[in-house]
Amino acid sequence: MNSIAVNDLHKTYAGALTPSLRGLSFSFPEGKIAGLLGPNGAGKTTTISILCGLVKQDAGKVRIFDIPQEAGRREQIKRVVGIVPQQIALFPQLTALENLVYFGNLYGFKGKALKDKVMGHLEAFGLEKAANKEVGRFSGGMKRRTNIIAAILHEPELLVLDEPTAGVDVQSRSMILQFLREYNAKGNSVLYTSHLLEEAQQICEDVAIMDEGKLVVQGSPADLINGLDDCRNLEDVFLHYTGHAVRD
Amino acid sequence: MLRLIATIRKEWLLLRRDKAGLTLLFAMPLVLITVMALIQDAPFKDYQEVKFDILTVDNDQGRLGRYIREGLGASGQFNVIDSFGQQPLTEEKAQSLIAEGAYKISITIPKGATAEIVSNANKIVNDISKRMGLASQLPVKAVVADSLAVQLYFDPASKKAFKSAIQQALDNFLTQVQTDLLLERIQMQLKSKDSAAAQDTFPAIKLKAVGLKETGVGAGKQIDVISNSVQHNVPAWSIFAMFFIVIPIAGNMIREREDGSLVRMKLIPGNYGSILSGKLLFFVGICVVQFYLMMLVGIYILPMLGLPRLQLGGDHAAGLLTAASIGVTATAYGILIGTLFKTPNQALNFGAISIVILSAIGGIWIPLEIMPDTMQKIGRLSPLSWGLDAINDIYLRNGNVGYILPDIARLLGCGAIMLAIAAIVEQRRIG
Ligand SMILES: Nc1ncnc2c1ncn2[C@@H]1O[C@H](COP(=O)(O)OP(=O)(O)OP(=O)(O)O)[C@@H](O)[C@H]1O
Ligand SMILES: [Mg+2]
């Protein structure tokens, strides 16, 4: 079974001149760490927003674990998917603990069990001392880590992360990557986007490179690198397929 | 239910940390109602005791002049002015003061007016005595060609209703003097006939057998609608202050959109409606607390400042229902503004100005009752006027829940419509 299957997605935002997605298709088998890569504006965030129902596609189909992304099934999908948005999605005026307890409550968890779960995650991410500090006063890396915890409270089988390592220091990044590996090792699927191709090469078993709203190429990093003569790493592959022109 | 309670708790945590927001919600309104009640105290006393200056030129210096002066003075509505500078007022001076517009009314009592009335009364009494076979001995003046008249001068700009009210009042005094004098003569005549009767036991003749009495029509004790500053200003400005909750609410909604926490809430399975209901309930609760804090100021603090004590009427359940309904409308308005506007600044400006306008036309600043007809009709469209109307019905007319239901229905209906619009707009955003 595929964790995600996207078929011929089209999306033009209201008021936008050009489409953001033009016939995007890809799929990832379940149980893998997959990477969705592409230059700025390629449509990665748009794709993820469609996956989780925050944005509606104009055409095309999305299936998560074979559940079709339809109006009636969105709730079901939300239960099996955890989304870490590109933007920090927390209340800056609340402490990390208050944020996570509130979101846990919204999932239906409560009481000591919830608090223990939240404290466990905070500890795993090295945030136990910051539990009672307002998120607004966190460093970028602390916010990113807390942002991830908010997405895994319901232990989703598929975790989707939009640039989880953007703007964080080496320590935070390695902690996050380590977490992704461990989460995957428990049998969960992970899809993440990143501009750091070295990082993607390290941890992804499967990558899809997209540009201008379309899939350019998909495969394991090793296969992609070996498939092209002049490419030594994923960055070379990426540049080979997407060119050197700067995106706006 | 957990989602709802968790949201209420979350809103409380957010508000508790927002010192500026707390001040805006609780301290400012208390200052506002105190200041408004204090500064409007004098004007409200004036509404109640409008006193008109009446120039009186008394050329008669007799009983008629005295009656008119005393009568006008006793009604409490007039200031009788009979001298200008150190001089007694003359008719010419009075006329020129009216022409200048300095005063609105002048009365001239002609010389010999009392004598004329006395003579007329004597004539009637003599006539009656003669017919009854008694000797008539009261002096009667020779017939005067022109009948004397009390002369009235009005400012040309005076309203018709005002003029006729004055004329009626004076006519009343004239009739009274004439009947008094007549009855007095009759009494004198009877006394002289029946000299055996002890003078002081002779019953005084009273003409007034039936009088006038005003009674309120409310269910119980009735306070005049614009009776005093506290009774108008405390509820009115409380409603105004409650509506200002739209600013923190709109700010709260826009911030949630900006800081991404709204995205997180939407990513969690479950009805967003329950989160919104939690928010609504929380802010309605805040509104109700605000309302009763302000009522407490009206009851306990304002009397310490020399103002009258606020009367809450008899039906406290109706009062609570009204406060909650106003809270629902205000909160829904805040949610709508928070949904429609993109930045907190836009929301703040639009929210504040719209509430000031809705309050001005809705009778918060000055009671609707004293506005022109068209303004009253427009004002009745303002949700603030429904709230104030309901409160007045309870506090002033002792109305109960049944009495205020139409206003409550309007408030809740309006709130529901605004929430529906906000929901539709928010739904369209996913696209
Ligand atoms: N809400 C929106 N309204 C209009 N256009 C949008 C909106 N969001 C994104 N776009 C446009 O859609 C295109 C794809 O944007 P998207 O954010 O999906 O790219 P991305 O691959 O995530 O880029 P990045 O790597 O910079 O995050 C861009 O051209 C962007 O300008
Ligand atoms: Mg993006």
Span from the CA of A94 to the centroid of ligand 1 (angstroms)? 29
User: How far does residue A164's CA lie from ligand 2's centre (Å)?
Assistant: 11
C-alpha pair distances (Å), B175 with each of B64, B169, B171: 10, 10, 6
Average pLDDT for chain B: 83
pLDDT tier at B223, thresholds 50, 70, 90: very low
Q: Which residues of B touch A (CB under 8 A)?
A: 2-3, 5-7, 9-10, 13-14, 17-18, 256, 259-261, 263-270, 275, 430-431
With respect to residue B220, please indicate whether it lies within any of the assigned structural domains.
no
Statement to judge: residues B312 and B384 lie in one domain = yes
Q: Which of B172, B193, B214 is the last residue of a domain?
A: B193
Please name the residue of chain A whose CA is at the shortest distance from the CA of residue B7.
A102
Which of A78 and B214 is assigned the larger pLDDT?
A78
pLDDT tens for B245-267 read 999 999 999 999 998 899 999 89
Task: State the amino acid at position B209 in one-letter form.
Answer: A
C-alpha distance across the termini of chain A, in Å: 37
Structure confidence by residue, pLDDT tens digits, B264-287? 998 998 888 888 889 999 999 999
Of A115-124, B203-212, B224-233, the poorest mean pLDDT is in B203-212
Cα–Cα distance measured from residue A66 to residue A38, given in angstroms and rounded to the nearest whole number: 25
* Residue B12 dihedral angles phi and psi, to the nearest 5°: -65, -45
Whether residue B35 is found in the same domain as residue B145: no
Q: Position A18: which residue type?
A: T
Q: Which residues does ligand 1 sit against, CB inside 6 Å?
A: A 13, 16, 20, 38, 40-46, 86
B43 C-beta neighbours (distance < 10 Å), count: 11
CATH number, residue B132: 3.40.1710
Residue B380 lies in a domain: yes
Residue B356 lies in domain: 2-44+225-430
Please check whether residues B243 and B312 belong to one and the same domain. Answer: yes
The confidence score (pLDDT) of residue B186 equals 82
B2–A98 CB contact, under 8 Å: no
pLDDT score of A142:
93
Q: How many domains does chain B have?
A: 2
Residue B167: per-residue pLDDT: 85
Is pLDDT of B217 > 60? no
Q: Is the model more confident about B427 or about B401? A: B401
CA A140/CA A94 separation, integer angstroms = 16
- Set of chain B residues whose Cβ sits within 8 Å of the Cβ of A107: 268-270
pLDDT recorded at residue B85: 78
Note whether B275 and B183 are same-domain residues: no
* B244/B390 same-domain check: yes
Could you tell me if B136 and B36 lie in one domain? no
pLDDT greater than 90 at residue B25: no
Instruction: State the pairing for strand pair B83-84/B78-81.
Output: unpaired
Whether B211 is in a domain gets the answer: no
Token representation of residue B314 = 């008899």
Closest Cβ–Cβ partner in B17, B261, B430 for A90: B261
One domain for residues B267 and B354: yes
The pLDDT value recorded for residue B222 is 47
Does residue B218 fall inside a structural domain? no
The answer to whether residue B246 is domain-embedded is: yes
Span A131-139, average pLDDT: 94
What pLDDT is recorded for position B120?
84
Identify whether residues B235 and B287 lie together within a single domain: yes
- Domain membership of residue B212 (yes or no) is no
Determine what percent of chain A is predicted with pLDDT higher than 70: 100
What is the ipTM score, two decimals?
Answer: 0.90
> Do B330 and B367 belong to one domain?
yes
Label residues B232-268 b or e (16+ Cβ within 10 Å = b): bbbbbbbbbbbbbbbbbbbbbbbbbeebbbbbbbbbb
- pLDDT digits 0-9 by tens, B320-343: 999 999 999 999 999 999 999 999
Instruction: Judge if B20 and B63 occupy the same domain.
Output: no
Nearest to B269 among A78, A91, A105 (CB): A78
What are the structural domains of chain A? 2-242 (3.40.50.300)
Q: Are B165 and B231 found together in one domain?
A: no
Amino acid sitting at position A42: A
- When pLDDT is averaged across residues A82-110 and rounded to a whole number, the result is 94
Using pLDDT thresholds of 50, 70 and 90, give the confidence band for residue B225. very low
Q: Are B396 and B308 spatial neighbours (Cβ–Cβ below 8 Å)?
A: no
Could you tell me which residue, B430 or B53, shows the higher pLDDT?
Answer: B53
Is B242 a domain residue? yes
Question: Given a cut of 50, is residue B221 above it in pLDDT?
Answer: no
- pLDDT at B354 exceeding the cut of 90: yes
Average pLDDT, chain A: 91
pLDDT of residue B8: 96
Q: What is the dihedral of CA B364, B370, B375, B377, to 10 degrees?
A: 90
Note the pLDDT tens digit of each residue in A200-241. 888 999 999 999 999 989 999 888 888 888 888 888 888 888
pTM for the whole structure: 0.76
Last residue within a domain, chosen from B144, B176, B193:
B193
- Among chain A, residues having any CB pair with chain B shorter than 8 Å are 14, 52-56, 75-76, 78-79, 83, 85, 87-94, 98, 101-103, 105-108, 110, 134, 150-151, 154
B129, two tokens: 């005595």
Res B171 pLDDT > 80: yes
> Who among B3, B266, B430 is closest to A105 (CB)?
B3
Residue A47 alpha carbon, nearest atom of ligand 1: 18
Q: Which of chain A's residues have a Cβ under 8 Å away from the Cβ of B430? A: 53-56
A61 C-beta neighbours (distance < 10 Å), count: 14
Q: Which atom of ligand 1 is nearest to the CA of A49?
A: 18
Which residue in A64, A93, A149, A157 has the most chain B C-beta atoms within 10 A of its own C-beta, making it the best mutation to test that interface? A93
Based on the domain organization, do B184 and B240 belong to the same domain? no
Decide which of B171, B193, B215 is a domain's last residue: B193
